[in-house]
Amino acid sequence: MAEYVWLIVLIPLIGFLINGIGGLSSEAYRKQKTLIGTIATISVFIPFLIALQIFFGMGADSEPYVARLFTWIEAGSFSSEVAYRVDQLSIIMALVVTGVGALIHLYSMGYMKDDEGYWKFFAYLNLFIFAMLNLVLGNNLILLFLGWEGVGVCSYLLIGYWYGDMAKSDAAKKAFVFNRVGDFAFLVAMFLVFRAVGSLDFDIILNNLSAFTPEITFWVAVLMFIGATGKSAQIPLFVWLPDAMAGPTPVSALIHAATMVTSGIYLISRFSSMYVLTPEAMLIVAIIGGLTAIVAATIAITQYDIKKVLAYSTVSQLGFMFLALGSGGFIAAMFHVVTHAFFKACLFLGSGSVIHAMHHVEHELEHEGKDVHFDPQDMRYMGGLKKYMPSTYWTFLLSTFAIAGIPVFSGFFSKDEILAFVFNAGMGEYSYIYFALWGMAVLTAFLTAYYMFRLTLTTFHGTFKLPSKVKGAEDSEKYLHESPSTMTIPLWILGGLAVIGGFMGVPDFFVTTFTSSDIKINWLHAWLDGVTSDSALVLSYGTKWILVAIAILIAVFATVLAYRNYDNDKGEASDAALEKRFGSLYQVWSDKYKIDEIYDASIIQPTFKLSDRVLAVFDMKIVDGFVNAVGGTVRFFGSLLRFVQTGVVQTYALVFIIGVILVLSLIIF
């Protein structure tokens, strides 16, 4: 079955071509919205089925299968082929991408119903899936990089989907530029790898790690990680992700929560056997990840835009994953990638459902003839939506439990495993730093549960606050309604996965402590053990259980605290109290650490000034002058030569004879 892997990649491309070309060329086709949506959804769903079939045909000990399609580039000793790799790691990623992708496609059919560029939206989505599959299934760095850039382009296109709005197209540009900074480092890493090994094939690189000197290993690892900080929104390049929420909500769910932003984690997991050779690089990864996690979590507490909260939450969770990678818990990181894809996609889609409803209210009020405008994403206008949107509420709540790490829900297992690995890393080299990071991680876990319940409770509990807050919106709650079934079905599926998804990675010691058997119930660990180089857990059962207990306590404590502060419309009062207690610290959080401003002052303004005062002059006087001079000279000679072209055959024959003499003399002498 694995030999059909190329179909997984090809079908989304075909979907993209059908919708893209059809929409471009035919006005009538653009109106067939159901058809367009169905084609796009099916062309992601069929690859999902194929991936599932391949998955069932594999075992934890299956050898990697590489489907080599054709040689793409050949240049001297360099050769790159289009080849797709099926192994335990890539198939998991492919399943997440196509599975979550298909659900979000389905959801988008409802969400984007009234949008004019419907066909364009779905064409872009399919193109994104195609690029993302190239990223995760490619068998060499070139193909991975192609996908890497491809998802960047699609992300740019989709963030700026409503490009008429200046702020949104600026957000798209910002995302693209920040990604490019990371890509540059990634490219340099690729060059280094090629110089050392002479190939970019995964197998060849990973089997020849001895060809690297320790310095090279360190730099390759760090440069790849810098690439990952761009794509996966880590310090210092994370600022684009919150702005990326300008895109349609399904895009945020698919690209900026579930799939694209996790590609950095995939990359590092893929090269895990290289990373374990260089503990310094691992430490850098862990520190950056830990810092990002806590910085983003503190910002999330202060935000009122529901999508912004989720965006900072995503940044924070990604930081968590990098922390796991840096601590040697590659499988733990992948585990969190998968569970995070479930619950965060569900949360984003739920927020989309809420925004959809709020938009509807605004729209209906306009129909009544009232000129009422409010931000449909601001949670201060919401509240009490539980009554009107039960499906959205329940799935949102389940996912919140999952992300908060309440036991049995999926996030609990994955987060707990990460915490265990960070603590475990503290037993080795750089122990103090890792213990400090563990402390930060615990604090982050607390904050996560806190802001997530703040969000859920403010939005769904209490009373609907729009009528009291906005003039002219009285009685507007009658327009609130649940979203259509194309939107709620994906919500329920994802919500269900968010609940049970954790059981794929229940730690072994849950059973082995109590029974004398060393049974392996951690399916995911067994599955991925062959393709990643996880550190060994050296903790005793007692320590492990204490860690679990701490995680549960933290989560429950944060939940209870949030419930006390935010239930029954107490939200704004509690936020004010919080602001008072933390004072200037709170200010720093709500100003997002002023990182955008720092970028502006340190890079953007100086660049503008430099280009305005120095480069522009250089450009106009010297570069243009030189170019014009060269062009002028060439044109002058050109017009001289033109005079020889008289149109008289005799002249031509004469020149011919001169040529004959030239050739004769060249050949003979």
Q: Residue 643, interface with other proteins (CB under 8 A)?
A: no
Determine the Cα–Cα distance for residues 320 and 593; give it in Å rounded to an integer: 19
Q: How far is CA 364 from CA 347, 354, 449, 478, in A?
A: 26, 15, 35, 10
Q: With CB under 8 A as the contact rule, which of the stretches 215-223, 397-405, 565-573, 645-653 interacts with other proteins?
A: 645-653
**213/646 with CB nearer other proteins:** 646
Burial call 449-461: b when 16+ CB within 10 Å, e when fewer: bbbbbbbbbbbbb
Determine the Cα–Cα distance for residues 668 and 477; give it in Å rounded to an integer: 98
**Residue 67: beta bridge partners?**
84
**78/503 with CB nearer other proteins:** 78
Determine the Cα–Cα distance for residues 358 and 383; give it in Å rounded to an integer: 11
Determine the Cα–Cα distance for residues 14 and 429; give it in Å rounded to an integer: 50
Q: How far is CA 307 from CA 64, 314, 325, 438, in A?
A: 39, 10, 27, 28
Kindly tell me which residue out of 34, 53, 71, 213 binds other proteins, with binding defined by CB under 8 A. Answer: 71
Reading the block at residue 243, the tokens are: 């702005």
- 160 contact partners, CB below 8 Å, separation of at least 6: 168, 169, 171, 172, 173, 246, 247
Q: Nearest distance from residue 627's CB to other proteins, in Å?
A: 10
Kindly tell me which residue out of 4, 6, 55, 72 binds other proteins, with binding defined by CB under 8 A. Answer: 72
| Element housing 81 (H / E) | strand 78-86
CA angle 383, 389, 394 (to 5 degrees): 90
Residues 649-668 that bind other proteins (CB under 8 A): 649, 651-653, 655-656, 658-660, 662-664, 666-668
Residues 77-96 that bind other proteins (CB under 8 A): 77
Q: Residue 603, interface with other proteins (CB under 8 A)?
A: no
Number of H helices, E strands in the chain: 32, 2
For residues 347 to 386, the per-residue mask of contacts with other proteins, x marking binding by CB under 8 A and - elsewhere, is ----------------------------------------
Q: With CB under 8 A as the contact rule, which of the stretches 36-44, 181-189, 529-537, 640-648 interacts with other proteins?
A: 640-648
Determine the Cα–Cα distance for residues 83 and 67; give it in Å rounded to an integer: 5
| Element housing 69 (H / E) | strand 65-75
Q: Residue 21, interface with other proteins (CB under 8 A)?
A: no
Q: With CB under 8 A as the contact rule, which of the stretches 110-118, 294-302, 439-447, 642-650 interacts with other proteins?
A: 642-650
**53/71 with CB nearer other proteins:** 71
**20/484 with CB nearer other proteins:** 20
Determine the Cα–Cα distance for residues 86 and 65; give it in Å rounded to an integer: 5
Q: Nearest distance from residue 75's CB to other proteins, in Å?
A: 5
Q: Pick from 298, 347, 172: which is nearest to 245 by CA?
A: 172
Q: Nearest distance from residue 488's CB to other proteins, in Å?
A: 42
Determine the Cα–Cα distance for residues 378 and 360; give it in Å rounded to an integer: 15
**82/422 with CB nearer other proteins:** 82
Reading the block at residue 574, the tokens are: 């509690």
**481/635 with CB nearer other proteins:** 635
Q: Residue 629, interface with other proteins (CB under 8 A)?
A: no
Q: How many residues of this chain bind other proteins (CB under 8 A)?
A: 34
Q: Residue 577, interface with other proteins (CB under 8 A)?
A: no
Q: Nearest distance from residue 77's CB to other proteins, in Å?
A: 8
Q: Residue 645, interface with other proteins (CB under 8 A)?
A: yes
Q: With CB under 8 A as the contact rule, which of the stretches 68-76, 125-133, 166-174, 300-308 interacts with other proteins?
A: 68-76
Reading the block at residue 228, the tokens are: 């990952």
Q: Nearest distance from residue 201's CB to other proteins, in Å?
A: 16
Q: Nearest distance from residue 516's CB to other proteins, in Å?
A: 60
Q: Nearest distance from residue 70's CB to other proteins, in Å?
A: 7
Determine the Cα–Cα distance for residues 393 and 433; give it in Å rounded to an integer: 40
Q: With CB under 8 A as the contact rule, which of the stretches 94-102, 367-375, 537-545, 628-636 interacts with other proteins?
A: 628-636
Q: Nearest distance from residue 149's CB to other proteins, in Å?
A: 14
CB of 426 closer than 8 Å to CB of 438: yes
Kindly tell me which residue out of 35, 66, 74, 253 binds other proteins, with binding defined by CB under 8 A. Answer: 74
Q: With CB under 8 A as the contact rule, which of the stretches 106-114, 338-346, 402-410, 632-640 interacts with other proteins?
A: 632-640
**626/652 with CB nearer other proteins:** 652
**76/583 with CB nearer other proteins:** 76
Reading the block at residue 83, the tokens are: 């080849």
φ and ψ at 470, to 5 degrees? -115, 130
CA dihedral 543, 548, 550, 555 (to 10 degrees): 170
Determine the Cα–Cα distance for residues 87 and 54; give it in Å rounded to an integer: 10
Q: Residue 73, interface with other proteins (CB under 8 A)?
A: yes
**DSSP per position, 359-398:** HHHHHHHHHTT------TTBGGG---HHHH-HHHHHHHHH
Report CA 420 to chain centroid distance, whole Å: 25
Kindly tell me which residue out of 27, 56, 70, 166 binds other proteins, with binding defined by CB under 8 A. Answer: 70
**80/229 with CB nearer other proteins:** 80
Q: With CB under 8 A as the contact rule, which of the stretches 51-59, 75-83, 225-233, 395-403 interacts with other proteins?
A: 75-83
Q: Residue 617, interface with other proteins (CB under 8 A)?
A: no
Q: Residue 639, interface with other proteins (CB under 8 A)?
A: yes
**78/557 with CB nearer other proteins:** 78
Q: With CB under 8 A as the contact rule, which of the stretches 57-65, 398-406, 528-536, 630-638 interacts with other proteins?
A: 630-638
**541/637 with CB nearer other proteins:** 637
The residues binding other proteins (CB under 8 A) are: 70-77, 631, 634-635, 637-639, 641-642, 644-645, 647, 649, 651-653, 655-656, 658-660, 662-664, 666-668
